[in-house]
Chains A and B, each alone.
Chain A
C-alpha cells in the first residue's frame, strides 16, 4: 500500500495509459476472433444467398429469350406484366389483377394455414411444456418425427389418404355416411390441410420453447387473484408466450407463402400459388425475367409484412423480453 502511494502522478498516468492500450488491444483481438467465427456463415450466405439474389435482380430487368434464359436487353416488361395486360391487337396496356389475385390468394391461404397451425400447435406445445421434464423429450421427439421423411414423400402420403379412393373416402363410404367420394383432393382445403401438416412442427417448437420457460407460479398467482381459466390464458399465458407465437407464425407463414410441393400435389395446380407461378415461369412459360420479378416481389412483400408484424408484436410483447 505504501509503495503505491509513493508512485509519482506521471508514472501513474503512464501505467494507466498502458493499461487502457492493452485493454483496447484485447477488445480488438476478441472482435477479430468473433468475426473469424462468423466467416463461414458470411461466406455461405454470400455465395448461395446474395449472389443468386443479385442474378435474380439483374434477370428481372432483362428480356426473355425465345427458348428460356434471357437476352441482354434492358426491359421493365416483367414488372409491367405483373400489374398490366397488353392488348393482343394494339399493345395498349390495361390494368390486370391476374397476378395480384394469385398473390392475395397465396397470402390468404398462408395466413389461414398459420392461424390453423397456431390453434392446433398452442395446446400441443402447452401439453408438452406441462409434462414432467424427463417426459418432455419423448413428446418433442414425436413432434420432430415427420422430419425423418422427405416432405415430397409425406405430401404424397397425404395425397393417397385424401384422394377419392383413399382411406378417408373409403371409410366414409364403408360406414355409409356418403355413397360417393367427397372431393377433398385438389381443393383449397386440401392445400390448407397440407400446409398445416407440413409446417406444424415449426409452430410447436418455438411455442414450446416459450411455454417451457413460463413460470407456472404466475399462473397460480393469477388464479389466486380471481382470474378464471380463460382469463389466465388471456392475461398471463398468451402474453408470456408471445415471443414463441411471433416466431412460430413467422416460421409457418413465410414457407407457407412460397410453398411449391403442397399446392402442386394437393391443389392439383388448378389454382396457382406464388410458388407454382414462379416455377412455371422458369419451366413451361420460359419467361425467366417475369419469374425473377415475381420472386423479388414475393420477397419484398414478405419483408414488409415481417417488419410490420414484428413492430406490432414487439410493441406489446418485448417490454419484458
Chain B
C-alpha cells in the first residue's frame, strides 16, 4: 500500500486517497500531451497535502482526476479504500474550491453555501442549519443574503470554502485558491485555511505553484514536474533535503555546485579541494561527478584568512532585501555562489572566506 517511505514510517495513519499508476494524456497524434505519466501517490486521512510544481506539471490534472472532471487513461484512484476513478463528480464525496471560486452569480451567499446539501436532497432545516454553521466558521454571518458579485475577493474566497465544506466531504480539493488575492490577504488566508483544516478534520489536497504557500501550510508536499511526482515529504524535508535537482532548484534559493563523490565515500570533494560530509538521496547516488546543494542561509561569510573557511572568493555584488543581504561571491575555483547574511562589513571586491554547513545534500538529476 504505502509507496513512499514516509507513509510506512507513520503506519498508524489511514490512507484517504491512493493513486496507482495514473496516466492521463490530452490530444491525439502529433499534439498528444502527457499530463500525468504513471503517477502514484498516497494521501493520508486528515492531512494537509500539497501538490507543488510549475504550471503544466500536471498538478491540476491530478486534482481534476480526483474530483472526477476528467477520467484517467490508466491507473486507479481509490478514495477511502473505494475505487472512484470512473465515477462522475456528483457521486464522489469530494468537493473542490476553484481557482476563480466559480460562485453561482444568480444565488445569494447562503444559497451558494447550501447548494451541495440541497442537491443531495437533505431536508430544509438541515440545510439551513449547516449553512449557518458554515457562515460562522468563515465569519460571514452578516453577508448571508448578499449576491456574490457584491463581495470582495477575500469574501468570495471564504464563501467558496464554506460552500465546498458544507456537505462535509471526505476530501477537500483546492485549486490555487489564493492566487487571485493580494499578498497580505493571501498570508491571512493561509493561516485561515490551516485553521479550517484543523477544525473540520477534513483531508485537504492543495494545488499551488507558490513554494512559500506550500511550505507554510502543508503537512506533506509532493513536488511535481512534467507529469511526474519527484519527491514527497514534509516541508522541512523537502526544503532541507531535496533529493532531485529540480526540487532543489524549484524550492527556495539554492546554490548547486559540482562535486566529486568517490565509491563508498561518505564525503564529497568540492571544487577547490574542500571535503565535506554528504547526505545521499534515497536510493543512493552514482559515484563520480555529482551535484550538491547548499542553501544561502546555511553558510557563514568570514574573512579570507579565517581557518574554518572551506571556500574562498571575491564579493561581486551585494543585494539588500530588507531582512538581510544576498552576497554574491565568485569562488577562486570558478563558480559563483550566493551567501545570505544579516549584516555585512565587507564591500564589493573584498576577499572573503565561506564556512560551510556540516553536510551537503547530494542531488540526483
Using a CB–CB distance below 8 Å, which chain A residues touch chain B? 215, 217-218, 220-228, 231, 235-236, 239-240, 317, 319-320
Using a CB–CB distance below 8 Å, which chain B residues touch chain A? 67-69, 88-90, 94-96, 98, 100, 102-106, 115-116, 119-120, 147, 149, 163-164, 167
Q: How far is the CB of A300 from chain B (nearest CB, A)?
A: 33
Q: How far is the CA of A239 from the CA of B98 in the complex (A)?
A: 21
Give chain A residues whose Cβ lies under 8 Å from the Cβ of B94: 224
- Check A226–B98 contact: CB distance below 8 A: no
- Check B90–A240 contact: CB distance below 8 A: no
Q: How far is the CB of A144 from chain B (nearest CB, A)?
A: 30
Q: How far is the CA of A240 from the CA of B102 in the complex (A)?
A: 13
Give chain A residues whose Cβ lies under 8 Å from the Cβ of B96: 221, 224
Q: How far is the CA of A6 from the CA of B178 in the complex (A)?
A: 49
Q: Which of B69, B104, B149 is in CB contact (< 8 Å) with A236?
A: B104
A218, A221, A240 — most chain B CB neighbours (10 Å): A221
B88, B90, B94, B96 — most chain A CB neighbours (10 Å): B90
A320 and B149 in contact, given A220-B89, A227-B90, A236-B104 (Cβ under 8 angstroms): yes
A226, A228, A317 — most chain B CB neighbours (10 Å): A226
Summarize A's interface: helix, strand, loop or mixed.
Answer: helix
Q: Which of B89, B105, B149 is in CB contact (< 8 Å) with A224?
A: B89
- Check A227–B119 contact: CB distance below 8 A: yes
- Check A224–B120 contact: CB distance below 8 A: no
Interface pairs (25), CB distance under 8 Å? A217-B102, A218-B102, A218-B104, A220-B98, A221-B98, A222-B104, A222-B115, A223-B69, A223-B88, A223-B90, A224-B90, A224-B94, A225-B90, A225-B95, A225-B115, A225-B167, A227-B115, A227-B119, A228-B90, A228-B119, A235-B119, A240-B106, A319-B106, A320-B147, A320-B149
Q: How far is the CB of A220 from chain B (nearest CB, A)?
A: 6
Give chain A residues whose Cβ lies under 8 Å from the Cβ of B164: 224-225
Q: How far is the CB of B365 from chain A (nearest CB, A)?
A: 38
- Check B167–A226 contact: CB distance below 8 A: yes
Give chain B residues whose Cβ lies under 8 Å from the Cβ of A317: 106
- Check A217–B100 contact: CB distance below 8 A: yes
Give chain A residues whose Cβ lies under 8 Å from the Cβ of B103: 221
Give chain B residues whose Cβ lies under 8 Å from the Cβ of A231: 119
Give chain B residues whose Cβ lies under 8 Å from the Cβ of A221: 96, 98, 102-104
- Check B106–A215 contact: CB distance below 8 A: no
Give chain A residues whose Cβ lies under 8 Å from the Cβ of B90: 223-228
B89, B98, B106 — most chain A CB neighbours (10 Å): B106
A224 and B95 in contact, given A236-B104, A239-B106, A320-B105 (Cβ under 8 angstroms): yes
A220 and B69 in contact, given A226-B119, A320-B149 (Cβ under 8 angstroms): yes
